Amino acid sequence: MRVRKCYEVSSITSVFALHYVSLYGWARGRGAPILVSACDYCCAFAAIIWASIYGEAALVRSETFHIYRLQSRGRRRIEEKMRPKIFLFGDSITEESFGDGGWGACLAHHFCRTVDVVLRGYSGYNTRWALRVLEKVFPAVEETPLAVTVFFGANDASLPDRGSAFQHVPLLEYKQNLHDIVSFIKVFFSLSLFLINGFKRWPTTLVLLITPPPIDEDGRLRFPYGDNPSGLPERTNEAASAYAKECIAVAGECGVPVVDIWTRMQQLPDWPKVCLRDGLHLTQSGNKIVFEEVVERLRKEGLSLETLPADLPLLSEIDPRDPLKAFQI
């Protein structure tokens, strides 16, 4: 992106000097965006207000803000519109989803001509850790995605007195963390939260919560995490049930859709062997269930092959007598 000029904003007074820059630019015609480098929250906030008032497209940069893009309403887009994206955000069950037969790989194949499916899976993570990395996972300069799946809880539900205790997150904190993750993605602007996180991300993005899967305790004993001198599983299906219920509750409170994998998988006969390879992580059959449930939920929310246009002309749309006609803008 070509930047017209960079202005260092070290005080509130210097923000008002931008007023004259704006008037000058208004008289001579608008060019590329202005980069505003702000030293603190107050200066950055003032610079953003300046950009909104005077109609400048701006990049606001500071040490605490990282980089935030702002475009005033009615302005032309700064860059070409890219293919829409669906982000998959979660723990190891998401990280592994691009493997052979994984639900993420199947989703990418399903939407191969319409959407880029972007993997953001982090093995072992719980919602507490996920909150700490949101800024890096979802930078504000990213184009608004169509949807984000949020698939956490399997590690949060680790028992606090067993081998994976360091991953445990108490149930009420897990619920609040999910609320905060959804709010981070969805809310455009909150004055009370501005000094903490600045502008929120994407109010139009669909957030799809996915409950943790059921746990096969015998499978966890056969495939323990590290040493297990107690001889007891570090996760139980009873605990997973409680976290799944809270995930569903958060979806209702936030007004976002949810996929209840915990219930869906247990509807199958012999689900521990069919769906789980080690009592926790998914088999290909388990991945297939997640894929099918996610696609169906997205379809109900208006995101499907029928509603999303192909990025470029399909072969069936190209006239053999005049092929190049299909590529005319």
Question: Do 53 and 136 fall into the same domain?
Answer: no
Considering the domain architecture, whether residues 61 and 208 belong to the same structural domain is answered as no
Please give the pLDDT value at position 328: 84
Q: Give 10-residue mean pLDDT values along the chain (329 residues).
A: 45 52 45 47 57 47 40 39 91 98 98 97 98 92 91 97 92 98 78 48 92 97 81 94 99 98 97 97 98 98 95 92 88
Query: Do residue 92 and residue 60 come from a single domain?
Result: no
Q: Give the model's pLDDT for residue 69.
A: 40
Q: Find the domain containing 58 and state its range.
A: 5-70
- How many CB atoms are located within 10 Å of the residue 160 CB? 12
Is 178 within the bounds of a domain? yes
Do 40 and 167 reside in the same domain of the chain? Answer: no
User: Does residue 162 sit in the same domain as residue 24?
Assistant: no
What was the pLDDT predicted at 31? 43
Query: What ranges in 187-323 are assigned the alpha helix state H?
Result: 191-197, 217-222, 237-254, 261-265, 271-275, 284-300
| Of 253, 278, 280, 66, the residue nearest 157 (C-alpha) | 280
* Active site annotation includes 179: no
Angle ∠(296,202,88) on CA atoms, nearest 5: 45
Cβ atoms of residues 165 and 92 within 8 Å? no
> Tell me, what's the pLDDT at 75?
35
Q: Collapsing DSSP states into helix, strand and coil, what is residue 89?
A: strand
Backbone phi and psi for residue 3, each to the nearest 5 degrees, phi listed first: -105, 130
118 and 63 within one domain:
no
* pTM metric for this prediction: 0.74
Query: Does a structural domain hold residue 130?
Result: yes
Query: Do 17 and 154 sit in the same domain of this protein?
Result: no
With the CA atoms of 111, 112, 115 and 117 taken in that order, what torsion angle do they form, in degrees rounded to the nearest 10?
90
Q: Please indicate, yes or no, whether residues 96 and 170 belong to a single structural domain of this protein.
A: yes
Q: Are residues 131 and 241 in the same domain?
A: yes
Catalytic residue among 92, 183, 285, 304: 92
Q: Give, in order, the Cα–Cα distances in Å from 221 to each of 66, 77, 226, 269.
A: 44, 55, 11, 21
pLDDT of residue 191: 45
Q: Is 227 a catalytic residue?
A: no
Residue 75 has a CB neighbour count (10 Å cut-off) of 12
Query: What does residue 277 show for φ and ψ, rounded to 5 degrees?
Result: -90, -25
Active site residue 92: yes
Q: Of 40, 180, 260, 278, which is the active-site residue?
A: 278
